[in-house]
Amino acid sequence: MDTSMASGNPFFDDLQNKGEAIDHPQNEDIMDCESLNIPSQAAVKPNGTVSSSVRELLECPVCCNSMYPPILQCLNGHTLCSGCKPKVDNRCPTCRHELGNIRCLALEKLAASLELPCKYQSFGCNGIYPYYSKPKHEYQCSYRPYGCPYAGSECTVIGDIPHLVAHLKDDHKVDMHNGCTFNHRYVKSNPHEVENATWMLTVFSCFGQYFCLHFEAFHIGLAPVYIAFLRFMGDNNEAKNYSYSLEVGGNGRKLIWQGVARSIRDSHRKVRDSFDGLIIQRNMALFFSGGDRKELKLRVTGRIWKEQ
């Protein structure tokens, strides 16, 4: 299959996962509840409801997110989260009176008595969690939606795996293949323009699962390279059950890579910048291509298997 690569920018800013389109609570937002004598371990119960009026009391009027200690209040009793205090120039957003450092302990203790459903309830999570344990659960909830794995645009689509597979096929026009082996040919007429030769994505269906094969050009320092790697469309604990191999070569030489599929929970950029895949230096890629070394013609073969 002949495939041409589109353009994009390289990144080398640590292994941070910045491609997430999903609003996960950050670790620093998961508060330490010991000072309020609240158990930090999430407890799942079969049912539990909280009125919308109580939820509104715990919603910051500035950022509209749920508030966690220290919850601040002005002299008139209006509340807001501590993170938004600098944003309002130390003035109450409701009455405009000057804010001090008064904590609303009553509201903090009210929150400690609440149990709420996971915000991913519509995706299948039926757990009910204590208010202060809920963010930690949601940060790692196995039902939380996935972000679109298409790396060539800042796509913000989220959803479950069947939704994303249909989205990739219908909206991004990604090539879809059945089977656990592949044989792809990547062609670029001007391989010296690495900054204009970015990536390709192909989706494979095998073992009742879906996998994304990425191939792209970028730089390691000043050196232009190509990289190919596989991502699993599912959670990390399932991804580790699948291994894969990649092979590229020509003129009697070849490079072989064997690795473990990475979950799409890890962004495309995170996997690429950790160099977790088959890396081919441009000079070696042109050597494999043969001819006058002015055109990239790489044939990448490989297979996917399930570990026993």
| Domain limits, the chain | 52-140, 146-306
pLDDT at residue number 100: 84
Of the candidates 142, 118, 145, the residue with the CA atom closest to the CA atom of residue 130: 118
Handedness of CA 123, 124, 130, 133 (dihedral sign): negative
> HSE (CB half, 13 Å, CA atoms) of 233?
28
146-306: CATH, from 3.50.50.60, 2.60.210.10, 1.10.10.10, 2.30.30.40 = 2.60.210.10
pLDDT at residue number 198: 55
pLDDT at residue number 196: 45
pLDDT at residue number 56: 86
List the chain pLDDT tens, one digit each, 308 residues. Answer: 444 434 343 333 333 333 333 343 443 444 444 444 444 444 444 334 566 778 888 999 999 999 999 999 999 999 999 999 999 988 999 999 888 889 999 999 999 999 989 999 988 999 999 999 999 999 999 899 999 999 766 789 999 999 999 999 999 999 999 999 988 888 776 655 544 445 688 999 999 999 999 988 888 888 888 899 999 999 999 999 999 999 998 888 899 999 999 999 998 889 999 999 999 988 888 888 877 767 788 889 999 999 98
CATH topology of domain 52-140: Herpes Virus-1 (3.30.40)
